[in-house]
């Protein structure tokens, strides 16, 4: 059994590896935000119903322990420690929900049902996929929308659920935090932002003369913006990784995704006085079907006819179940007040550097990477990049 810190470290490595692949393959021409934590939990729900080599592959891919009970333990501890709502005590507002929908012709296996409802706090519901597939899909979409305060709409794309669908496993995550030091809207000014194609756009930038948590390395700088924590013991922060060169974002994402301890090693802990500080406001909504990326990273069995998801349902059709698609949508907005972010994932199961001391400025006027995480545990909630702050 792994300890929580090590499990979270592995989960973070999974998050950053996934981010690197998604940013280079799915989002190389657009802004990106996604929640690796949401995808991790959606795949952990699948693992709860898998066995044999399929389970082994999921557990090793997710990097958390050596069995599905290790995954369950990690997820339930994250839900308890990291994802409980903090708005009552002046901290960030958080909402996290899991759901399992299954065809009315099936019953869930007792052990699977117990795991998903007790450890994952998931609601379970039977629907008529065979005769009313589109109504079933819209029920899942309504659920995801209400779980994310209306930010995630149409998680499941039209046509993604049909009469062959037997189960949908889904989760949603919502985060809204205010900066511990808000920015003065009177200081927000338009300035040039350099795009990767060599042109520029005029975008509104947050600005401040206050000291900031910034550290500088060989080819990039890191900014830490803490969220107001109220009486909450947890500390959420947004990190902005800014390459030194205007077009250095792809080599930086590669660097971030390559090492287990990258984030921990590059956290700025001291506030420094900057001659110049600028960060663009941005708002991103991003959705994609992730099975191709997951298969590209080596997770193949759950998506193939030779996988084993027989622990989900009490029926001989269990041997013919496979994951058809894993849909994911996320949203983030950064402004003077703070950050609002949300994400949802659904798996549709079918039949068959060197430190350079204090920097003098932090001017994010070209493409950069951002990460939202909880600092005491190190759990990463959202990862993304901004290529053009004017695009949503």
Q: What is the pLDDT of residue 350?
A: 61
Answer yes or no: are the C-beta atoms of 278 and 256 closer than 8 Å. Answer: no
Q: What's the whole-number mean pLDDT along residues 290-303?
A: 89
- The predicted pLDDT at position 260 comes to 66
Q: Which residue has the higher pLDDT, 359 or 340?
A: 340
138-147, 176-185, 255-264: segment of lowest average pLDDT: 255-264
Give the pLDDT confidence score for residue 208 in this predicted structure: 92
Q: Where are the alpha helices (DSSP H) in 211-342?
A: 249-258, 262-265, 291-296
The predicted structure's pLDDT at residue 357 = 52
pLDDT at 351 over 60: no
The overall average pLDDT reported for the chain is: 87
Mean pLDDT of 61-84: 82
Pairing of strands 32-34, 165-178: unpaired
Q: Which residues contact 317 (CB under 8 A, 6 or more apart)?
A: 106, 166, 351
H-helix segments, 94-132: 110-114
User: If pLDDT is split at 50, 70 and 90, which confidence band does 1 have?
Assistant: very low
Q: With helix as H, strand as E and coil as C, how does 86-151 read? A: CHHHCCCEEEEEEEEEEECCCCECHHHHHHHHHHCCEEEEEECCCCCHHHHHHHHHHHHHHHCCCC
Helices (H), 155-304: 249-258, 262-265, 291-296
Whether 341 shows a pLDDT value over 80: the answer reads no
User: Could you tell me where the beta strands, DSSP code E, fall in 320-364?
Assistant: 321-334, 338-351, 361-363
pLDDT top residue among 95 and 355: 95
* pLDDT (0 to 100) of residue 354: 41
Residues 122-135 pLDDT 10s: 888 899 988 999 99
Q: What is the mean pLDDT of residues 40-54?
A: 89
- Stretch 70-82: mean pLDDT, rounded? 84
pLDDT at residue 202 tops 50: yes
The domain defined by 180-281+354-386 folds into Alpha-1-antitrypsin; domain 1 (2.30.39)
Q: Which CATH architecture has domain 4-177+283-351?
A: 2-Layer Sandwich (3.30)
pLDDT at 379 over 50: yes
Lowest average pLDDT, out of 107-111, 165-169, 333-337, goes to 165-169
Give me the percent of the chain exceeding a pLDDT of 70.
Answer: 95
pLDDT of residue 349: 62
Band of pLDDT at residue 89, cut at 50, 70 and 90: confident
Contact 45, 39 (CB under 8 A): no
Confidence of residue 321 (pLDDT cuts 50, 70, 90): confident
How many angstroms from the chain centroid is the CA of residue 354? 28
pLDDT at 355: 42
Mean pLDDT throughout 245-263? Answer: 88
| pLDDT computed for residue 359 by the predictor | 60
Are 87 and 93 in contact, with CB atoms under 8 Å apart? yes
Confidence of residue 17 (pLDDT cuts 50, 70, 90): confident
**Domain(s) of CATH 3.30.497.10: residues in the chain:** 4-177+283-351
CB-count exposure of residue 275 (10 Å: 0-12, 13-18, 19+): exposed
- Tell me: pLDDT of 197 over 80: yes
Residue 3 has pLDDT above 80, yes or no: no
- pLDDT at position 383: 92
All CATH 2.30.39.10 domain ranges of the chain, comma separated, are: 180-281+354-386
Least confident of 115-119, 207-211, 225-229, 321-325: 321-325
């Amino acid at each position: 059994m792994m300890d929580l810190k090590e499990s979270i470290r592995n989960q973070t490595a999974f998050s950053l590896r996934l981010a690197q692949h998604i940013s280079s393959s799915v989002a190389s021409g657009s802004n990106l935000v996604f929640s690796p934590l949401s995808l991790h939990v959606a795949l952990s729900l699948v693992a709860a119903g898998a066995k044999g080599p399929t389970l082994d592959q999921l557990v090793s891919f997710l990097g958390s322990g050596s069995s599905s009970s290790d995954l369950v333990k990690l997820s339930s501890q994250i839900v308890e420690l990291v994802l409980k709502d903090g708005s009552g005590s002046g901290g960030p507002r958080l909402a996290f929900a899991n759901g399992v929908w299954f065809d009315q012709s099936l019953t869930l296996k007792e052990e699977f049902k117990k795991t998903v409802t007790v450890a994952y706090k998931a609601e379970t519901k039977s629907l008529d996929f065979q005769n009313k597939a589109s109504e079933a899909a819209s029920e899942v979409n309504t659920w995801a929308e209400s779980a994310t305060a209306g930010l995630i709409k149409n998680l499941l794309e039209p046509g993604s659920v049909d009469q062959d669908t037997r189960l949908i496993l889904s989760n949603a995550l919502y985060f809204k935090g205010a900066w511990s030091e808000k920015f003065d809207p009177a200081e927000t000014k338009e300035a040039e932002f350099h795009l990767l194609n060599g042109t520029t756009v005029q975008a509104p930038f947050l600005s401040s003369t206050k000291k900031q948590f910034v550290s500088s390395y060989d080819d990039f700088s890191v900014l830490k913006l803490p969220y107001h924590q109220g009486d909450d013991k947890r500390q959420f922060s947004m990190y902005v990784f800014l390459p030194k060169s205007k077009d250095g974002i792809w080599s930086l994402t590669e660097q971030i995704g390559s090492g287990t301890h990258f984030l921990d090693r590059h956290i700025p802990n001291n506030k420094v006085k900057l001659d110049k500080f600028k960060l663009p406001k941005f708002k991103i909504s991003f959705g994609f079907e992730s099975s191709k990326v997951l298969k590209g990273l080596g997770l193949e069995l759950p998506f193939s006819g030779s996988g084993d998801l027989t622990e989900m349902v009490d029926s001989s059709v269990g041997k013919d179940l496979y994951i058809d698609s894993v849909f994911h949508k996320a949203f983030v907005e950064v402004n003077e007040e703070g950050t609002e972010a949300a994400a949802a994932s659904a798996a549709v199961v079918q039949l068959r550097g060197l430190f350079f001391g204090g920097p003098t400025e932090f001017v994010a006027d070209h493409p950069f990477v951002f990460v939202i995480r909880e600092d005491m545990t190190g759990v990463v909630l959202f990862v993304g990049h901004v290529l053009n702050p004017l695009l949503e």
